[in-house]
Amino acid sequence: MLIHRSVLRLVDAASRDVTRFVLNGVQVRRKGKRIEAVATDGKILARTLHVEPEDELPTGMGVEDGEEVDGQTIPTSFMVKLRKFLEKHPLRPILNYVRLRVDGGKVDAEVVDDDLDVSRLSGKVLDGKFPSTDEILADNPQNELMRLKVDPYRLVDAVKLMLELAAENGLHKPKKGETHIPTIDLVIPKPDDDGNVRTPLRLTYSDLGNARVDVMLMPIVQGKV
């Protein structure tokens, strides 16, 4: 199986809690014609989907023993080590992929650089069953009433602006041991009779009601699912 380098970034969403060891990695499996990778810490869940390339990695590769990865969880530590080997290759897209194979509880990976030098890495897959995410990641979950599309860069800019304004306004930053954590509330306006949202989404950052920052963001496309 060839996985894209973007999969390695999912380690940022994986749990660091050693008591939840089954979440201390990235689950990789084949889903239809695409490769799915998922990581979560129980609060944030991230997924990538990509089509496996038809081309093979350059000559010199060949993890022949073992089986295709299919539902195993690859440890965060293993993925982090792979990231050090795999650089971005805009001119040779095939080099942006890693070959993965498993053999029992062992996982093997191979990476090729611009000089066609091969780096190999071996490790162990995580024991235990990764929680099912099929329902929550379904394209049209039953509890989804409507879907809004927003510009991702404007959304990031809105959150950054909110945090900058919050810092300027002296919003409380929680100290170690405190149970209250300031949150960002996402308020989705009520749609009209046609199912369209004609007013902006509101992102609100508050501190126990003592201080508050609001940022508005207009959806690009709106309507019923």
For residue 11 the two structure tokens come to: 């380690």
Q: Are 111 and 82 in contact (CB under 8 A)?
A: yes
For 73-83, how does the pLDDT look when each residue is reduced to its tens digit (9 = 90+)? 999 999 999 88
Do residues 51 and 117 share a domain? yes
Tell whether 104 is covered by a domain: yes
**191 inside domain:** yes
Whole-number Å distance between alpha carbons of 211 and 183: 12
How many domains are there within the chain?
Answer: 2
* CA 195 – CA 206 distance, rounded (Å): 30
Say yes or no: 26 and 64 in one domain: yes
The whole-number average pLDDT for the span 30-51 is 89
Could you list the residue range(s) of the whole structural domain that residue 49 is in? Answer: 2-124
Residue 84 has pLDDT above 70, yes or no: yes
| pLDDT on residue 107 | 93
| CB neighbour burial string for 120-135, b if at least 16 within 10 angstroms, e if fewer | eeebebbeeebeeeee
Instruction: Report CA 10 to chain centroid distance, whole Å.
Output: 5
Query: How many residues can be counted in the chain?
Result: 225
pLDDT digits over 63-74, tens only? 455 688 889 999
Residue 78: the pLDDT is 94
CB 182 within 8 A of CB 171: yes
What CATH number does residue 60 fall under? Answer: 3.10.150.10
Structural domain includes residue 102: yes
Do 212 and 155 share a structural domain? yes
Tell me, yes or no, whether 49 lies in a domain. Answer: yes
In a domain, 140, yes or no: no
* 5 pLDDT above the threshold of 50: yes
